[in-house]
Structure 1
Amino acid sequence: MASINRRVVQLASTIIGNGYIEGFAKGTIYRGKLKSVCFPGLNCYSCPGAYTSCPIGSLQSVAAGFKHQVSLYVIGFLMLIGTLGGRLVCGWLCPFGFFQEILYKIPSKKFKLPKLLSKFKYFFLLVFVLLLPAFLTNEVGVGLPYFCKYICPAGTLEAGIPLVIKNAALREAIGILFYWKLGLLIATIIFSMLMSRPFCRAVCPLGAMYSLFNSVSFYRMNVDKTKCTKCNECNKNCPVGIKVYENANSPECIRCGKCIGKCPTNAVKSCFITHKKGRFNHEKVLDAGSGADNCH
């Protein structure tokens, strides 16, 4: 996986997921059959080019429709993607993650994101995506997609700005909420130039959801302890600041593979564990820290 050009995959994912050119030209939203399918990364439903739906937006919409309603399709979809690759989507397919990585390449003084902030994304998942839409509702039990409406900068970038530019009626309806969201987007852009993937690490509820599967997914990172010298090159080159030799399958790992290419002793590898016996043996290796390598 790491040998594949990740930038090409990220660019292709962004283009394919937002390839409805007519939407951008006319300031409209695609409403065909593909809209019932979720995109694996954070990609706004209302983006003029989006063929599919955002899983976080879909999860909120269903929860907000009637009290205590749950979308088994969306939950099942997220569990499937998480079980297969954990946060592999974050590192390879998510358009907004790609956008942040581009911003980080802009020359500027760089800072480290405080580790405590990485816990905040679970707060946004629990409160703004799950609890508020389900329980903060009107008299007939209908709530709002709170994360999308009040926080998500990806929605502002991908949907809000393009639609306002092309749609005169929307421009006339601009209010304080639009400027609030625009301010959050600007803040995200500034922080993304100074810190690596700040939104992914501190805010993104989709990343929080996928992170729960990193330790059990079929796609795994592995460190050969017999080769690892703890030179810390993995940590120096990791976009989310992980010491891979301490926890190769950390919830924060986005499986980008940078550590694999930078390891001077070729101690770090990744692979899909595709059968039960191999998966069981791989778990024993991780638990024992023996350094045996199941990734070829």
Structure 2
Amino acid sequence: MDTKYAGYYCQECDYVAHLPCTYDKLLMDGYVDISVTLDAQFEEISLEEGGVVGEIKHFSHQHNLCLGDKEIEDDKFCEGCGQLILDSFYKCEQCKFFLHESCAKLPKKKRHLLHRHPLTLNSRGDCMFYCSACKHPHRGFSYKCDECYYNLDIQCISLPETFKHEGHQHSLFLAISSMEKCKACDSSSNCYGAFFEPVFVCTERDFVLGFECASLPLEARYDTHLLKLTYTVEDDSGEYYCMICKEKRNPNHWFYYCEKGGFAAHIGCISVSWRS
């Protein structure tokens, strides 16, 4: 077992186990409960052809919401997760309120391995909250613990305990607590240095991904540019700059890039648009 990666350890008998091996065993034996309460937070008002829910009443908004039937001309952000509307959505015909279809149909309660209590879906509106996983301020929806001050934003709670990210060739596994640096952004560049926080780890390579980078959208928009999350430098020039803040970019860090316009930007310079 590679000691660089997190694992489970018994101090009394020196028993050691990989994270994925222990997790699978706990699930099989019923010691881990990641059940989801499927009670929806919306009421179906009308059905369209094919059983599609065309109109709903959602707990987060005073008016009924209708399923969007055409592309949005201007950039609109989801009031639930705060990210750009790029796929199916519901909208209010009376005011500028938009929800991804997936955010509109989130369950009322969820459980997550990062927290011992059930978490309840809340609409924060314009009130800011800090996500306990990625440590960033957010508006919109959160899953909140009713017993203690613990919040997860929609992107973080939606990440599975094991998943495959297109930025890495192997599967990544949730590590509850680690001091490894995120390979996508190099966590030592922030004021906290290496973090002792939940991360995703690869058990085959020296690769760690923090929640902040694991939850990044694969596509974003800035001005007229449709940007894609990019993992390797765009050319071999050796000089790389962010076209928003004009500062240098670390060639080893992930960034957002529009190939058509040759537009590149720091992750942080783009993400501020949906986190503010």
Please give the TM-score of this superposition, normalised by the length of structure 1: 0.22
Q: By percentage of residues, which structure has more strand?
A: 2
Q: Which has the higher contact order (CA 8 A, sep 6+)?
A: 1
